[in-house]
C-alpha cells in the first residue's frame, strides 16, 4: 500500500514541478507551493496509517456497544451501527464474541440476515469455541416456545456446519436430544445431521426421559439404514 502511495506522490510531484514552471514566476512561490504539497502528502499518509491501524485493531468500544444493542433487541441502533461499521461484524468484543455470534445467540433473525449480506463469517467461533450455528440452536433449546427457525435456516443455507461441536464435544443434535427439543431434532435430522456420534443422541434423549424425541431419532435412523 505504502509503495503505491509514494509512486503516486512522485507522479504528482513531477506534474506539480512542470505546472509550477508555468504558474509561478519566482523560486520562492514554487518552494512555498511544494511545501503545501508535502504537507498534504504526509497528511494523506497519516490518514492511510490510521485506517490500517483501525483495520488491524478494531475499536472495542464500538464492538461492545453494537453487541449490547443486538443483545437488547434494539434493531434500529444495531442497524445504524452496522451501516457505519460493517467491518466490525466479525470483530471480537471483550467477552470473546463477535456481533454476528451475539445475534445468533439471541435469535435476532433480522439482524443476522443483514449481517450475512454484509459478509458475516459463519465459520468463526467464539473464544469459547462455540460456532454460530451452535449458538443459534442453543437459543431455540432455551426458548422451546419459539417456532420461527429463520436463524438456523439462514445459517444452514449460508454454509454453516450443523455438526460443529461445542467445547465439550457436543453437537447441536446431541444438545437438542438431551433437552428434548423434538421439533429441532426433527429439523436437524431432515438436514442430515450426524446421528452416529458419542454420546448417542437417541440414548441422550432416552436417559433424560424424552421418549418422543428418542422415537423420532430411532425412526429416522431405522429408515436411513433401510434405504
**CA dist list (Å): 16 to 10, 29, 39, 40, 49:** 10, 12, 14, 13, 25
| 33 assigned to some structural domain | yes
Q: Grid cell 451452535 — which residue? A: 134
Domain housing 21 = 2-56
pLDDT in tens, 145-174: 998 889 999 999 999 999 999 999 999 999
Lowest-confidence range among 49-63, 77-91, 111-125, 130-144? 49-63
Q: Does residue 8 form part of some domain?
A: yes
The predicted model scores a pTM of: 0.73
Q: For residue range 28-65, what is the model confidence (pLDDT) as tens digits?
A: 566 666 666 677 666 666 566 645 555 555 578 899 99
Domain count, the chain: 1
Distance from C-alpha of 104 to C-alpha of 98, rounded to nearest angstrom: 10
- pLDDT tens-place string over residues 180-203: 999 999 999 999 999 988 899 999
Tell me, yes or no, whether 217 lies in a domain. Answer: no
Q: What's the DSSP call for residue 124?
A: P
Residue 84 lies in a domain: no
Amino acid at each position: 500500500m505504502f509503495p503505491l502511495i509514494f509512486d503516486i506522490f512522485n507522479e504528482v510531484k513531477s506534474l506539480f514541478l512542470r505546472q509550477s514552471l508555468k504558474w509561478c514566476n519566482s523560486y520562492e512561490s514554487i518552494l512555498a507551493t511544494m511545501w503545501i504539497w508535502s504537507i498534504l502528502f504526509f497528511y494523506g499518509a497519516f490518514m492511510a496509517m490510521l485506517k490500517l491501524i483501525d483495520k488491524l485493531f478494531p475499536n472495542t468500544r464500538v464492538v461492545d456497544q453494537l453487541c449490547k444493542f443486538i443483545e437488547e433487541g434494539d434493531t434500529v441502533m444495531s442497524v445504524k451501527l452496522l451501516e457505519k461499521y460493517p467491518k466490525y461484524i466479525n470483530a471480537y468484543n471483550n467477552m470473546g464474541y463477535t456481533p454476528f455470534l451475539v445475534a445468533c445467540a439471541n435469535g435476532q433473525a433480522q439482524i443476522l440476515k443483514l449481517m450475512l449480506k454484509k459478509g458475516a463469517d459463519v465459520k468463526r467461533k467464539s473464544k469459547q469455541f462455540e460456532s454460530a450455528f451452535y449458538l443459534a440452536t442453543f437459543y431455540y433449546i432455551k426458548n422451546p416456545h419459539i417456532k420461527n427457525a429463520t436463524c438456523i435456516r439462514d445459517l444452514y443455507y449460508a454454509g454453516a456446519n450443523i455438526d460443529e461441536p461445542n467445547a465439550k464435544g457436543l453437537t447441536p443434535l446431541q444438545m437438542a436430544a438431551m433437552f428434548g427439543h423434538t421439533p429441532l431434532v426433527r429439523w436437524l435430522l431432515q438436514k442430515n445431521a450426524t446421528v452416529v456420534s458419542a454420546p448417542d443422541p437417541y440414548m441422550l434423549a432416552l436417559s433424560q426421559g424424552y421418549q418422543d424425541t428418542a422415537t423420532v431419532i430411532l425412526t429416522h435412523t431405522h429408515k436411513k439404514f433401510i434405504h
